[in-house]
Chain A
Amino acid sequence: MGELFVAPTLAAAVERLAADPGARPIAGGVGVMLARALGLPRAERWVGIGALPELRQRAIHVPTGALVLGAGLTVEALADRDAGPPAPRLLAAAAGDVANPGIRVVATIGGNVVARGSASDLVAALVALATEAEVISATGTRRLPVEDLCGAEPLESGALIRAFHVPAGKLRWGWQRLSIRGAMDRSSASVAVTAGERGVRIVATCISDRPLRFPNAEHALATALHAGSAGDALAGVRAAAVLDLASADLLDDDRVSGAYRRRVLPALVERAARQALARA
């Protein structure tokens, strides 16, 4: 028989997870309950962490200036600009496209990243923002890029995400998402673009089993920005995106084919880049 242990503190949660290798953390419960409803494999023992204040922090890290977002913050909270240091607008835009309001109000950032991985809208934005996840377990804490959480087993047994660290800095950004229905539809392709002091990042999710970067398109956009010819460079960004996709394994799923994704992604990259340029 399984069980649910609602942890009173983060320390208690970590202790419980360490003591029971079969246990898994549960916060908003959306991913866990959806897996149950679909009859997918799941753990039988759960450690409730959704109410822990330690996972709901929202602060600026001193001295790096990075924004620290507790993994237990809800997806909806990312769009709330009055609850503390505001999340980057790119992240808020991506959050606004997650599922529906009734899910966003309980689904957590950490849960979304772990449960959805490379199929997450948020992951595209987080990776484009060069976000790191702070993972805690009984053996200590460590940081890793968000894209490293997108494998088949995102976290080792006994671990949970405490927070996300979003680097500071002024950014231009763009966001594109493609779905078949006007609302409440999983993305067929999500593209995030950032351009700032640390360079350009173009990231797509919901297209493959990993978040996809576009190095050629990033280079084309960065070069154009540096040269001040950005307005003319979009066609080059799009062409470069085609090259970036040449060797990519793209997903055929119940929404669209990989061939379609290959076809439309360069256009989405160009549009997101155009948005970023317009936000100069």
Chain B
Amino acid sequence: MSDRAFSGLDPDAIEARIRGSIRFAGDVTVAGMLHAALVRSPAPAGRLRSVDAAAAAALAGVVRVVTAADLASLGLADDRFGTILPDQPIFAADRVRHLGEPVAAVVAETEAVARAAVDLVRVAIDAEDPLLEPDAALAPGAPLLHEDRPGNVLGRWGFSHGDLAAAEAATVRRFVGEYHSPAAQQVTFEPQVCVARWEGRTLEVWAATQSPSRVAAELARVFGIDPSAVRLHVPPLGGGYGAKNHAKIEPLAVALAALVGRPVRLANRRAEEFVTTTKHPARVRIESGVDSDGRFTFRRASIHWSAGAYAHSSPAVMRAGGLAVCGPYRIPAAEVESVMAYTNLPPAGSFRGLGANQATWAGESQVDEIARALGDDPVEFRRRNVVRPGDRLATGERVDDAHWLECLDRVAATIEIPASSDTTGARRGTGVALAMKHTMTPSRSEAVVAALSDGTIEVRSSLVDMGQGLRTVLSQAAARALDVPPETIRIVDPDTAVTPFDSTTSSSRGAWAGTLAVGRAAQALRQLLEAAGAVALEAPPEAIRLADGRIALAELPPGSAPTGPTIAELVATSGAPELSAHAVAVNDAPVDPESGVAASASHWHQAAVAVTVDVDPDTGMVAIREVHGAAWAGRVIDAGRARLQNEGGAIWGIGGALFEELEFPAGYPSATTLLGYRIPSIRDVPSVLATHALETPGGAGEPTGLGESVIPAVAPAVGAAVADATGLRLRRLPMTPERVARALAAETDGPWPEADPGGAPDRLPATPATGPLPPPTSPVDLELVVDGRSVRVRTDPLRPLRDVLAEDLGIRSVRGVCGVGVCGSCTVLVDGRAIRSCLRPVGLSIGARIQTAEGLPEGDAVRDAFVASGAAQCGYCIPGTVLATHDLLARDPSPDDEAIRQGLSGNLCRCGTYGRILEAVRAAAGRPNAESDS
């Protein structure tokens, strides 16, 4: 069968996400399960004097309050966890190192009781001055966060290559700049969540993690049990983006379950997410030289990262950023130092675009500065310097699979933009940037492909489906190798008792690893089946082939159908419950035969981005009008999913360029809700967002993954466009209106004061990290009409309708993501109108007709349009968007695109599925959709 026969979406997985029938880790319930909530440090740094839990322990429904002292009874092999570097205590014992660090936990019969009890725990801390910046933490004499980490240095990575002295001698122009990237938050709509259960010395865990094998191994290590005694299940994820890449709350849940002797569920609230994992803030200093021909002579770079209090993925980020900072250019001499410092901020972890975002913001911004300073065209400058196949990167390593020039050429053709016709005085500019991000090297993926007695082909892999199209990738890899219809393939969700080892579903490696490992296992199974078939047909193995699920002679007479045994019959004949094969895919770094040096990455994620912006000189608003992105895909397996990955990446980049920022004044987060932390809405998507996935001709390439490729290039392309429009260079992200306006004003009026001189009121207080529970009102009996059924509930009439629907009535598609009316994931129809059920008191919904996504009738035209359009990635938000579309089309059956954007402006999708959502709504409204360009 041809590849084309396998192209398309995995309809079952997509449909379940759109219907809201999919079950995430947070939906798991286990018999006898208790609920835990964490007591978190109210200070960013200090000595933990006492934890007074007496009042909490006395609250009805509380089973136990746990502190670090209780862990001694568990006989842990290590009281610190960390998949790469174990430095994080399960509970803070004697000191706290960041705001929100867990210092205790309450385990109770219900989550509400656990939360209420948390507010009764009194934590006494002798606060210390927090170290908030890497430079302060690295300064001589700075107090140490970890006694065993001198100088607060978590790690250093770097390289020096080439003859720097000679390179400097050849330099005619020298450029120096310092660039800043802020902390940010991944904002997975599904929060960190884990259920843990012990049976003697056997541990079973259900977790929202991108790395089942790695987390299971870490739990075995910390709790001193054999790895085979840990069984970790991973239901489909409601968003990952790196946030779920390492152990986060899993060790806590496991410890609590051990201490209370019952299963325990632990889930973060939204505010807790902001103190659990973030993106690394970074300061990047770069010095570059060019010769008289406008070619790079050298680059020096120094990156200081803030790791926060614990390592998580910091060593990987430090290396990834160090590798990316010189970009895909022929730079004959380079010296890079990448230093990761411990600070008193929440731990920074993996973030979509890992490390390359911060480095590329700096590196590509400076490339643009150099080109403009030389009077050169930024595209031509890049064409002159970019590596081509066989060239060497700044590290000195040879790269043969280089496609940056193709990516650049693809987007460069788009940036001949007509002058602005805007009459408001907006200044228009264009910008371009390249991105180079390594892939995790080495890494390992194993797969088992099994033929079952009913003829089903089962694919067992610990790669995690989060809506990125992984199930399609795995299914197609197996179907292609075995020459069976995709509908005979069943993908098993990761379950470490069943699915074999896999390094992680991150670093955009899933498509590559899945294709290779599953393809190899399926090929091995094919050989096994053909060997069995040869016996059955009494023919030599070389005369046998498997086709369309049945054994046949390899050379059949023309027009005759295969007549040998089917796969099911072969399995039955074998006497075994299944016939299976196992295979491994490892991406070791290739070694350069000339230098003997191993490459930094088995392959590079490669992309180019071009943007057009309008800058309002009065307000500093940057409006992105067009984004064109081209990324190297190697081979596209599923064109629809590839486009979603690329578009989602571009939208992710827009957020980072314009408004995503998490500050920590005095160590306290500037935002703990989605009111204060902004992620892109459908109205932030430019009217022109065109992405291209470039392939090796003839489909001969290996799929390289697209989940992150364009992201690092977006912000520097926007920065270049702002510079083109205004002549100003911004070196600090994000490019908020105020930051742009300040830069513009500084050119003419000098800098503004940071604080307003007019006697401004104090800065508004940050929302508390965990707010107290509202006082309950008297429970009353309420009758609701939900999905056409009358139901009775006894509850607090001021309780959010969402909570009643999801928690009391079990309608899980009504997701609670933000809880403050921002995201729209909890949308339901009340008397036909789409409302936020998180902000609707249930007591005001009596007598109303409440419609949820799960209750929509079969054949619902809007939902069917979403399914047909494949308008979902992780799917956490989509049921709400389907209902918002119902409301929109009921009032305006033929909305134009602006009306759709307006109507869905309050339904956020962190995966960035907006283009596909637009198409689905158009389809539901009976409008044609243009062909995709991807």
Contact = CB atoms under 8 A, between A and B. Distances in A.
Interface of A: 1-4, 6, 26, 29-30, 32-34, 36-40, 42, 44-46, 48, 50, 99-103, 105-106, 178, 180-186, 188, 208-209, 245-254, 256-264, 267-268, 271
A257 B800 CA distance: 34
A267 B619 contact: yes
B684 interface: yes
Given A1-B777, A101-B903, A267-B618, A252 B798 contact: no
B761 A252 contact: yes
Interface stretch (B477-485, B668-676, B694-702): B668-676
Contact of B681 (A34, A184, A254, A259): A184
Contacts of B680: 181-182
Contact of B798 (A36, A38, A262): A36
Contact of A50 (B675, B820, B844): B844
B470 to A, nearest CB: 30
Contact of B824 (A2, A6, A102, A250): A102
B798 A46 contact: yes
B191 interface: no
19 contacts: A6-B844, A34-B820, A38-B767, A39-B773, A103-B821, A105-B833, A106-B836, A180-B736, A182-B684, A184-B822, A252-B755, A252-B763, A254-B671, A257-B754, A257-B756, A259-B755, A263-B741, A263-B745, A264-B620
Interface centre among B671, B737, B839 (most CB of A within 10 A): B839
Given A6-B846, A32-B798, A100-B905, 12 more contacts: A4-B798, A6-B843, A30-B839, A32-B841, A37-B819, A101-B834, A180-B659, A185-B678, A252-B760, A257-B756, A260-B742, A264-B737
A253 B675 CA distance: 13
B424 A271 contact: yes
A101 B839 CA distance: 13
A250 B755 CA distance: 10
A249 B774 CA distance: 33
A106 B835 contact: yes
Given A29-B840, A101-B834, A102-B824, A3 B778 contact: yes
Contacts of B738: 256-257, 260
B926 interface: no
Given A102-B827, A249-B760, A253-B764, A186 B906 contact: no
Contact of B776 (A1, A6, A254): A1
B771 interface: yes
A182 B619 CA distance: 14
B486 interface: no
Contacts of A185: 678
A50 B770 CA distance: 30
Interface string B709-740: 00000000000000000000000000011100
Contacts of B778: 1-3
Interface in B760-812: 760-764, 766-768, 770-778, 780, 797-798, 800
Nearest to A35: B774
Contacts of B671: 254
Contacts of A268: 618-619
Instruction: Provide the main secondary structure of the chain A interface.
Output: loop
Nearest to A264: B619
B758 A101 contact: no
A2 B778 CA distance: 6
Given A1-B776, A101-B905, A105-B834, A209 B844 contact: no
A254 B674 CA distance: 12
Given A102-B821, A264-B618, A42 B752 contact: no
Given A209-B761, A260-B738, A264-B619, A183 B756 contact: no
A258 B756 contact: yes
B906 A106 contact: no
Interface of B: 424, 618-621, 658-659, 670-671, 673, 675-676, 678, 680-684, 736-738, 741-742, 745, 752-764, 766-768, 770-778, 780, 797-798, 800, 819-822, 824, 827, 833-836, 838-841, 843-844, 846, 884, 887-888, 901-903, 905-908
A33 B618 contact: no
A102 B837 CA distance: 9
B839 A33 contact: yes
Given A6-B843, A209-B761, A102 B819 contact: no
Contact of B764 (A1, A254, A264, A267): A254
Interface centre among A40, A101, A245 (most CB of B within 10 A): A101
B774 A36 contact: yes
B518 to A, nearest CB: 40
Instruction: Provide the main secondary structure of the chain B interface.
Output: loop
B682 A183 contact: yes
Contact of A184 (B659, B755, B770, B906): B906
B800 to A, nearest CB: 6
A82 B773 CA distance: 42
Shortest Cβ-Cβ A-B pairs, 6 listed: A39-B771, A100-B906, A258-B756, A182-B683, A267-B618, A183-B905
Contacts of A105: 833-835, 887
Contact of B843 (A30, A34, A48, A261): A48
A29 B777 CA distance: 15
Given A4-B798, A184-B822, A252-B756, A37 B838 contact: yes
A29 B620 CA distance: 35
A33 B758 contact: no
A2 B775 contact: yes
Contact of B758 (A30, A50, A106, A248): A248
A30 B821 contact: yes
Contacts of A102: 821, 824, 827, 834-836, 884, 906-907
A26 B840 CA distance: 11
A72 to B, nearest CB: 12
Interface centre among A30, A182, A245 (most CB of B within 10 A): A182
Contact of A254 (B620, B684, B766, B838): B766
Contacts of B843: 4, 6, 48
Contact of B906 (A1, A30, A33, A103): A103
Contacts of B670: 254
Nearest to B678: A181
Contact of B838 (A1, A33, A258, A264): A33
Contacts of B619: 178, 264, 267-268
Nearest to A96: B902
Nearest to B766: A254
A38 B820 contact: yes
B844 A26 contact: yes
A12 B773 CA distance: 30
A258 B905 contact: no
A258 to B, nearest CB: 3
A26 B845 CA distance: 13
A188 B822 CA distance: 17
Contacts of A106: 833, 835-836, 839-840
Given A33-B841, A178-B621, A180-B736, A254 B777 contact: no
Nearest to A258: B756
Contacts of A50: 844
B110 to A, nearest CB: 18
Given A30-B821, A44-B775, A247-B758, A263 B798 contact: no
A50 B907 CA distance: 25
Nearest to B757: A259
B514 to A, nearest CB: 35
B683 A183 contact: yes
B761 A101 contact: no
B748 to A, nearest CB: 12
B737 A183 contact: no
A105 B884 CA distance: 12
Contacts of B736: 180, 256
Contacts of A99: 821, 906
A188 B755 CA distance: 16
A247 B888 CA distance: 45
Contacts of A259: 752-757
